[in-house]
A and B are shown apart, each in its own frame.
Chain A
């Protein structure tokens, strides 16, 4: 029964889809956790010194790359990796 389902490919495809979702989703949470502290600090600095806005944005957007990594993994899982080819 189990063997049948796996050879069908449906379950594996489903697991891959779940994995891809987790990759992007968890990376998103990670990026968010990273950004919250930086964001609060940047708002504080900019309130004191508006000239720091550019540098603040720079720092604030640094962890954003994390989610892109997650997305890259998802894309590879969904499109580039072909276990049944």
Chain B
């Protein structure tokens, strides 16, 4: 499961006479990851597409433009169509329906354009609305220069000074002073200079309009309204066509895509005048199936051969990528999304998906750790699952569902239902929270109990079980003792997590034949981090002289020496702060959880112990108003907390995987190529 599916390299060679049935069969089997012919070999050329290719491509382009006008994009199918129905209805869709759609969409675009022009004109003319001059008189003179626009101050007197002959019209509307100044052409530049002193800005008068400005503006506005009204039924028409034909159009798209994929496939093959050669990879256990089926399809006029290991290795050395097909059981598969988001594993690398499946939900649960939040997130995810049906969303939702279950489990451990002081105390016992609050109510106590933390010397400890006061259940996370325990747990998870990463790193380097990297780069990191953790444990248990501390110090020194001896030399040892910070980084498992518990705690405290008693006049018999206000506050704060509380427990474990774990073993050689066999899964078509 940690390894991708085993692949083998095959070569299929045959006569050009059987190329069509072979392509049909290959496409149907959906097994062979075709290696495109590079054109390197002199004796072969690139294959030519089948004669039908251009026809399908043309139809496909037409269909795609119809899809674009109808705003249809790929989705999960609601209906499936038999091939025969698709064939019989295809001409109708591409013909009359398509033309109708294109004409309608073009008309809508035309209307949009016209409306925009008219609105722009109306907007430009509005400041001129008060001018007592008709629009057609504002332009088009030979011997006169016309200045139409707005001015900040009166211009008439100054214009008269430079041009005795003039005609000035002014009007003010909506806070702007509009002017229309007419002067002889030879005075134009002087007048222009005068006008600019008055803050004149020109408005270009739209041509082709007549009558008064105000009349023209209202005509433009009513015109654009009328056009908008014309648009609505056209849009409805497109919507109706879309509702009626959406799935059929997507089915035709699928049909044409398949046809065109098949017709163009010879471009990927090597060919001679009479024969073709197809190179490719497929899962080793599928080889027999491929051979039998292809032999049957081609009637024996075909040669299929599996290359042995050394020949395949040679091809890989020459730069061919072995495709990776991740091999995980169904419940783990959603987590491939997280792997993929980072990189596809290379064929020789480990596929970390199983590890993500183990650690990611655990970390998510440890951070969120609240029964109610877990249940709510579970319910929301089940609702979303019906709505978002594409594979990507389904994976994401399944990831969160599994993680939410862990959140509920940890919620039970931490005794949290809507945070500490939340429903837990009301359901399981009425007594716990008084102890917790006793310390809060007596804050002066804190100073003397310093070092023990805010909630008393042993922190919040659960009910006594058989006289054992240290029973840590439920273990309130805000309590000192729990914080210390969780620091330990976080670091422990860190050591295990990075440790597994390092072990896989050693094995990966060995698989690539890099012994020096394996033993002097990966191995010392493993030793360093494991014994760093053990050393800390010894330090806490028995101080500096504890044997565990001494042993750890020795191993750490040895590991540093190994790093220095490694391929990077002394530079290798400069990574040590990174390895230490790797482990400290796992404290986020505790820290982010604490932050959200803190908010939940504050919400409960505010509602139950501040707001509600206050609104009830200090009594513990809450009034109706107090209860209503309290519940509103609780819902608001918990809702916000839950939103944040689902986001960060998702992002931070993601980071712990990507930064702390993957850097130890994954994607050091630049990511792989996903296995994508020649063929297509039919979604809208059925047999």
Binding site for B on A (CB under 8 A): 8-10, 13, 53-55, 57-58, 61-62, 64-65, 68-69, 71-72, 75, 78-85
- Asked whether, in the complex, the Cβ of B451 is within 8 Å of the Cβ of A57, the reply is no
Considering only residues 326-352 of chain B, those with a C-beta below 8 Å from chain A are: 340-343
Instruction: Decide if B588 is an interface residue (CB 8 Å cutoff).
Output: yes
**Known A13-B446, A79-B484, A85-B451: A57·B581 in contact at CB below 8 Å:** no
Beyond A10-B447, A61-B655, A82-B451, list 17 extra A-B contacts (CB 8 Å): A9-B448, A9-B450, A54-B658, A55-B343, A57-B654, A58-B659, A61-B654, A65-B581, A65-B584, A69-B584, A71-B587, A71-B591, A72-B584, A75-B587, A79-B483, A80-B484, A81-B451
Considering only residues 583-617 of chain B, those with a C-beta below 8 Å from chain A are: 584-585, 587-588, 591
Q: How far is the CA of A84 from the CA of B659 in the complex (A)?
A: 39
Q: How far is the CA of A64 from the CA of B585 in the complex (A)?
A: 9
Binding site for A on B (CB under 8 A): 340-343, 446-448, 450-451, 453, 480, 483-484, 487, 581, 584-585, 587-588, 591, 651-652, 654-655, 658-659
* List of B residues within 8 angstroms of A58 by Cβ: 342, 655, 658-659
Q: How far is the CA of A42 from the CA of B480 in the complex (A)?
A: 39
* List of B residues within 8 angstroms of A57 by Cβ: 341, 651, 654-655, 658
Interface residue SS majority, chain B: helix
CB distance from B327 to the nearest CB of A (A): 21
* List of B residues within 8 angstroms of A8 by Cβ: 447
Q: How many A-B residue pairs have CB under 8 A?
A: 67
- Asked whether, in the complex, the Cβ of A69 is within 8 Å of the Cβ of B581, the reply is yes
- Asked whether, in the complex, the Cβ of A75 is within 8 Å of the Cβ of B483, the reply is yes
* List of A residues within 8 angstroms of B581 by Cβ: 65, 69
Contact of B341 among A9, A13, A54, A85 (CB under 8 A): A54
In the assembled complex, 16 residue pairs joining A and B whose CB atoms fall closer than 8 Å, in A order, are A9-B450, A54-B342, A54-B343, A55-B343, A57-B655, A58-B659, A61-B651, A61-B654, A62-B659, A64-B652, A65-B659, A68-B584, A68-B585, A79-B451, A80-B484, A84-B451
* List of B residues within 8 angstroms of A72 by Cβ: 584, 587
CB distance from A54 to the nearest CB of B (A): 4
Interface residue SS majority, chain A: helix
Contact of A13 among B447, B484, B658 (CB under 8 A): B447
CB distance from A8 to the nearest CB of B (A): 7
* List of B residues within 8 angstroms of A54 by Cβ: 340-343, 658
Contact of A61 among B342, B446, B448, B659 (CB under 8 A): B659
Q: How far is the CA of A10 from the CA of B659 in the complex (A)?
A: 41
Q: How far is the CA of A75 from the CA of B485 in the complex (A)?
A: 12
* List of A residues within 8 angstroms of B659 by Cβ: 58, 61-62, 65
Contact of B587 among A61, A68, A79, A85 (CB under 8 A): A68
Q: How far is the CA of A55 from the CA of B340 in the complex (A)?
A: 11
- Asked whether, in the complex, the Cβ of B585 is within 8 Å of the Cβ of A65, the reply is yes
Q: How far is the CA of A62 from the CA of B254 in the complex (A)?
A: 43
CB distance from A43 to the nearest CB of B (A): 15
- Asked whether, in the complex, the Cβ of B447 is within 8 Å of the Cβ of A55, the reply is no
Q: Which residue of chain B has the shortest Cβ distance to A74 in the bound complex?
A: B591
Q: How far is the CA of A85 from the CA of B448 in the complex (A)?
A: 11
